[in-house]
Structure 1
């Protein structure tokens, strides 16, 4: 078994509903009475087994964030934001603790360039039986220009981005959820969708559990550059200091 690649089941993949572009497609997450294989519920938040497990040798779950199909993480109330992140992180770490997987990935797609298929706000928690995703991560991609640091939470803009250009990082020690973590995560998403210097309607949110820290990487998504696809060379823009200062001005100078 090749442990560097995930295998995608195309016969299942062609069955998946898609309504990010196909607006006529009904949303399966809105029809809550028909949801099956529910694992946990907290109000409008639901964790369930993925009905379309396209990844082989993996345990796939979906975290439905809210019952509002038109909602978005950047506009959640503080109460719902913190409940959601607590819920997701707890179930992600619990899956890790079972010892059944080489690694467990926790991520979110939003928008047509994110790689997602459904517009309804959701995340995914996936246990990988034979791939340790941590082996593919260089700690340097989480370092960068400090935008804000308080209450044990560090918010940065990457100076060595994993894919290239602009990547935000929010990190905290894994001793317990800190609300500042969720707040900074939300700020990064809000900035991407509202104030970004280039029109951005898509992003990914990736959670990592490395060396006793919980780290969220928030990445605005555009068409991926050919230098990265063809040669694996990330590009670093020359206006990182300006962007970090702009986020500080917009979100922290009033604090």
Structure 2
């Protein structure tokens, strides 16, 4: 398969504000009256063009999730949770359907190990001119131990063939219509990572995929990446996946653990 690389503009990157580690830095997303290039507003949600488009040959937008700088996906009230994901998924799929871009990616960074720079809760929707992200997607990376599922509805699993390695949570639904349990399962995965994970975790990513009529979200707790993956592309699978799946079922779905 032909390798593809995104090109990063370092001169723009050097100007980006950073408020995840630098707690004294002013948050650009809190200064809502100063925001420019706004695409759509659904209070308190704002979609706008990225002021620092570091990726070349790409159309970059930012989805500000809330007017609360300390808000978090893991604790959003259900009404706001569904409003946010209806809004985000609609704009992502609309940009994809426009046919302007070869592919459109939708993702979220949270925490100091996530690769993000702004602490204020937000996601990004990026149209790629020359790269089709789906060429790097293997369907088996969404396979896993079932934690919860709805009949003819969303499914929540723990990857048995993770993309990068160790623990990755998958949520899937059909693209026919938005289903509320999709966002609720995603919220549970994030809440578990931040509050019940067996290793202290303060960072995660959420990646969305639109493949063969289905929408997938992959929720990945972030730690220092294993050198076996960095150097050789070898994902590792831990030996306690069954335990973790049962633990999630016990905590969030009141399913007794097996002996």
TM-score class, shorter-chain normalisation, is: over 0.9
Structure 1 vs Structure 2 CA RMSD = 1.2
**Following the alignment from structure 2 to structure 1, what is the Cα–Cα distance between the partners of residues 182 and 247?**
19
The answer as to 2:224 corresponding to 1:245 is: no
Following superposition, which runs of at least 4 residues in structure 1 exceed 2 angstroms of deviation? Answer: none
Aligned to 1:84: 84
1:161-216 per-position Cα deviation (integer Å, ceiling 9, x unaligned)? 00000000000000010001010000000000000000000000000000000000
**Offset, 1:3:** 6.6
Point out where structure 1 has 5 or more consecutive residues left out of the alignment.
none
Aligned to 2:13: 13
Give the TM-score normalised by the residue count of structure 1.
0.98
**Offset, 1:24:** 1.1
**Following the alignment from structure 2 to structure 1, what is the Cα–Cα distance between the partners of residues 154 and 141?**
17
Point out where structure 2 has 5 or more consecutive residues left out of the alignment.
none
**Following the alignment from structure 1 to structure 2, what is the Cα–Cα distance between the partners of residues 43 and 232?**
42
Aligned to 1:213: 214
**Following the alignment from structure 2 to structure 1, what is the Cα–Cα distance between the partners of residues 73 and 48?**
19
**Offset, 1:69:** 0.1
Aligned to 2:50: 50
1:48-94 per-position Cα deviation (integer Å, ceiling 9, x unaligned)? 00000000000000000000000000000000000000000000000
Q: Secondary structure of the residue that 1:247 maps to in structure 2? A: helix
Q: How does 1:1-255 map to 2 (within 5 A)?
A: 4-151=4-151, 152-253=153-254
Give the TM-score normalised by the residue count of structure 2.
0.97
Aligned residues: 254
